[in-house]
């Protein structure tokens, strides 16, 4: 679908949304709540069908009282634009990647800390137990955004040419393409050279030998056909990206309490669907990459522990950036 201009979108907003301002204009019709929902994710990513199921549930359980206008594939805003748009009330809901907004809300990237969570199940366990209630939800409220639920996305894994990464020492001398400061600190601590690159640059950089490997989630490996330029993939679970179900706080306040309850319930069902979809997507990705010739490696528990112990300074650095960071890490450690 074609991306519409923001001017066109905002013009539509003046006529059709924000839903919660519509009131009861027609005496014969029950007041409808129109919600504009935007996501950066393309339809090829499982977060779109997972979110479409959320929308269907809400509309059905409210007997049509809630109606969504759903925009995907950056039709309205890109990944780093949608949260500011949500703050301003230009959209009503979105599902941002929490890691993208750690600069705005400190600590939102706690899940990205390498080797903190063991796997997707481990991440889901602490999210369900209330990790974000340890201060993160409250921080987001201060910027006019309500977080309804959180779901674990994929983990980051090392892909390399020539030789695999099987122990911490293997990174020495390697140039690794990364996408976050946390991962850059980790690669440096392990003796490698981090190189910030977008996903679109990886294939050519690997093909030309400009880098020795990458640290990315499975979706990047499969979506960018990186099996064609990589030999090894090590399932390291070196940090996760958390997906949020977020709403504009002002818009939310105008929704009747009974509808809020439905939205919250459906949001956590969305979170569980996302968790299950991540597991399924990861399993399919491993099978696909293996069938395309990549050698797949994994870490045993002892080696995972070695990696974690080797980057203690990265944790210390992160805690120095996030005043309540230790509280978040301690919560995760208590809920494995």
What is the mean pLDDT of each successive set of 10 residues along the chain, which is 336 residues long?
50 43 43 96 96 99 98 96 98 97 96 97 98 98 99 97 97 96 97 96 98 97 96 97 98 98 99 99 98 98 98 98 96 97
Q: What is the pLDDT of residue 20?
A: 41
Neighbours of 320 (CB within 10 A): 9
Q: What is the pLDDT of residue 31?
A: 85
Domains of the chain, start order = 6-101+127-152+242-282 (3.40.190.170), 157-238+285-333 (3.40.190.170)
CA distance 154 to 217: 6
Instruction: Give alpha helix (H) positions in 193-311.
Output: 199-207, 218-223, 249-253, 257-291, 301-310
How far, in Å, are 4, 86, 266 from residue 326 at the CA level?
43, 29, 31
CA distance 239 to 109: 9
Q: What DSSP string describes 175-194?
A: EEEESSHHHHHHHHHTT-EE
Q: What is the pLDDT of residue 5?
A: 58
Q: What is the pLDDT of residue 30?
A: 66
For residue 248, the cross-strand partners are 145
CA distance 329 to 146: 22
Q: What is the pLDDT of residue 4?
A: 53
Largest CA distance in the chain: 72
CA distance 43 to 32: 27
């Amino acid at each position: 679908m074609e991306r519409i201009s923001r001017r066109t979108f905002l013009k539509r907003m003046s006529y059709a949304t924000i839903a919660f301002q519509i009131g009861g204009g027609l005496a014969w019709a029950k007041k409808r709540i129109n919600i504009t929902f935007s996501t950066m994710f393309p339809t090829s990513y499982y977060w779109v069908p997972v979110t479409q199921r959320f929308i269907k549930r809400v509309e059905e359980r409210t007997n049509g009282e809630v109606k969504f206008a759903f925009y995907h594939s950056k039709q309205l805003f890109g990944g780093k634009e949608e949260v500011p748009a949500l703050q301003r009330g230009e959209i009503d809901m979105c599902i941002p990647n929490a890691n993208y907004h750690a600069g705005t809300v400190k600590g939102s990237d706690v899940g990205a800390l390498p080797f903190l969570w063991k796997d997707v199940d481990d991440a889901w366990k602490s999210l369900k137990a209330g990790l974000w209630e340890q201060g993160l939800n409250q921080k987001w409220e201060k910027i006019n955004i309500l977080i309804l639920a959180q779901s674990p996305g994929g983990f980051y894994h090392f892909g390399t040419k020539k030789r695999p990464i099987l122990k911490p020492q293997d990174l020495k001398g390697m140039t690794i393409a990364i996408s976050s400061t946390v991962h850059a600190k980790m690669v440096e601590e392990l003796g490698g050279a981090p190189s910030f690159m977008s996903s679109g640059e990886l294939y050519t950089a690997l093909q030309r030998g400009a880098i020795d490997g990458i640290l990315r989630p499975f979706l990047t490996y499969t979506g960018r056909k990186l099996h064609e330029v990589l030999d090894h993939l090590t399932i390291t679970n070196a940090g996760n990206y958390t997906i949020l179900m977020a709403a504009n706080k002002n818009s939310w306040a105008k929704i009747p309490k009974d509808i809020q309850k439905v939205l919250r319930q459906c949001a956590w069902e969305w979170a569980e669907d996302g968790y299950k979809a991540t597991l399924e997507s990861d399993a399919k990705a491993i099978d696909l990459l293996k069938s395309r010739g990549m050698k797949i490696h994994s870490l045993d528990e002892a080696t995972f522990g070695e990696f974690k112990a080797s980057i203690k300074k990265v944790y210390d650095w992160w805690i120095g950036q996030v005043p309540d960071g230790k509280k978040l890490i301690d919560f995760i450690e208590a809920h494995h």
